[in-house]
């Protein structure tokens, strides 16, 4: 059974708010970007049936924006361990996944490093190395989640690549 993995870095957050890092929300640009990512996923028939999400405000808001464009978007599984999680923590969460199309929404540098580790061939795009806010990688996985080690990159995009769906 082929599985799909979607790795998403949260959209642009608001540094002007005087809040701790965990509670930092998206800024207006980030709130506009998240539905673009959702429209991209919907356009490519990539509706996750499981979402693993850091419990930080900016990742939760990113998924909420994405979900507005998806039919039957599942409730996210929020995890404190994914907040600024290292790649091995994220990989552990993915190896326990049960969906056929799983999205993981996290933070740099962990999510970028994980994308590099899992992609058999990295995206031919200089932004893949930087993994800017909203960066989204889609991989096809041909092993069970419990044996996840690499996958075939099928898509890489950022919100700036995408039209405003509104």
Specify the pTM. Answer: 0.96
**From first to last of its 166 residues, what are the pLDDT tens digits of the chain?**
899 999 999 999 998 867 899 999 999 999 999 999 999 999 999 999 999 999 999 999 999 999 999 999 999 999 999 999 999 999 999 999 999 999 999 999 999 999 999 999 999 999 999 999 999 999 999 999 999 999 999 999 999 999 876 5
Quote the distance between the C-alpha of residue 24 and its chain's center.
18
Res 1: pLDDT: 83
CA nearest neighbour of 5 among 112, 118, 106, 140: 140
Q: For the chain, give the longest Cα–Cα distance.
A: 47
Reading the block at residue 156, the tokens are 């890489």
Percentage above 70 pLDDT, the chain: 98
Let me know: does 164 contact 39? Beta carbons within 8 Å: no
Per-residue pLDDT of 19-57, as tens digits, reads 899 999 999 999 999 999 999 999 999 999 999 999 999
């Amino acid at each position: 059974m082929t599985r799909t993995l979607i790795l998403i870095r949260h959209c642009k957050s608001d540094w002007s708010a005087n809040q701790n890092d965990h509670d930092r929300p998206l800024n207006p640009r980030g709130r506009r970007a998240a539905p673009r990512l959702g429209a991209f996923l919907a356009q490519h028939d990539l509706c996750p049936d499981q979402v693993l999400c850091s419990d930080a405000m900016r990742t939760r808001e990113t998924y909420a924006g994405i979900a507005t464009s998806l039919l039957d978007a599942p409730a996210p599984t929020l995890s404190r361990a994914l907040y600024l999680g290292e790649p091995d923590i994220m990989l552990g969460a993915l190896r326990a996944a049960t969906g056929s199309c799983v999205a993981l929404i996290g933070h740099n540098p962990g999510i970028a490093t994980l994308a590099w580790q899992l992609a058999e061939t990295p995206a031919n795009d200089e932004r893949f190395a930087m993994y800017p806010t909203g960066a989204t990688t889609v991989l096809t996985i041909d092993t069970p989640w419990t044996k996840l080690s690499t996958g075939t990159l099928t898509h890489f995009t950022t919100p700036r690549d995408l039209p405003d769906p509104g």
